[in-house]
Homo-oligomer: A and B are copies of this chain.
């Protein structure tokens, strides 16, 4: 057991917060964990399934005496939460978050915090297509990366947060704010936007029915639908708050797509072949880095009708 903080408060009780709770319990990483969610329904569910040692009816109550407060709400809601809890934070406490974007979160949260409270940004790069308090599980962060964005926060508070995430199973890596937002646009935000678009196109076509799309999805389309089923509020906020990096990578994406489209139109098979060969190497790297399974079909369990 590695207790890192005496008391941890989770504000927002969705997939990430609930997984953090179960991972904290597994590791003994916190003395007591309080939790708050805006919706009464979520709080009721949390109490029913034993999520958090104590579920509070206000964020203010939840953060009292907490050594670590983790904002687990959509990126667009973090500023308002920070403003609300700021006067009630314990001196010496650390506030952190789990948002997919860092620049706008830091800009929205820091101005509200009292002098004796540090903000250290964190972004656990893990998730599933499910959301809500019942979707969490203790192993979500195992062998996944948690990006730590101190952006000038004190070294001791930063190290303690890294220690905490290690206890939850993650590997930590520090990153500069702007670089974080660019890397995430590439590996996460744009892939999600493209997946949403592809699923939207399929849903839109009058000449191909939804039933056909669903029936024949194993041919490739299916892999896109998992990430396109992610939480809409979270993703709306990501794109609203990481606009610059998103638009930059999207611009690069459409350039490349147009080049391939042109190769198809003029029948340039060599260009397509070379392009398709190059992308295999990246997949190999991901398998070797232990970030995916090489079982055929992801080792999907056999599904039956």
Contact = CB atoms under 8 A, between A and B. Distances in A.
Interface of A: 76, 100, 125-130, 135, 137, 139-140, 142-145, 147, 173, 179, 182-184, 186-205, 207-208, 210, 212-230, 232-233, 235-237, 239-240, 243, 246-247, 249-250, 252-254, 256-257, 260-261, 263-265, 267, 269, 272-273, 275-286, 289-293, 295-305
Given A187-B213, A187-B216, A300-B292, A279 B196 contact: yes
15 contacts: A127-B219, A173-B215, A183-B212, A186-B208, A189-B220, A191-B221, A193-B260, A194-B224, A203-B281, A203-B282, A205-B252, A217-B289, A225-B286, A226-B283, A240-B267
B253 A254 contact: no
A177 to B, nearest CB: 14
Contact of A202 (B140, B218, B282): B282
Closest CB pairs A-B (n = 5): A188-B219, A232-B276, A229-B283, A128-B296, A290-B305
A182 to B, nearest CB: 6
Nearest to A288: B214
A154 B249 CA distance: 52
B225 A282 contact: yes
Given A186-B213, A273-B236, A297-B128, A280 B229 contact: yes
Contacts of A304: 143, 290
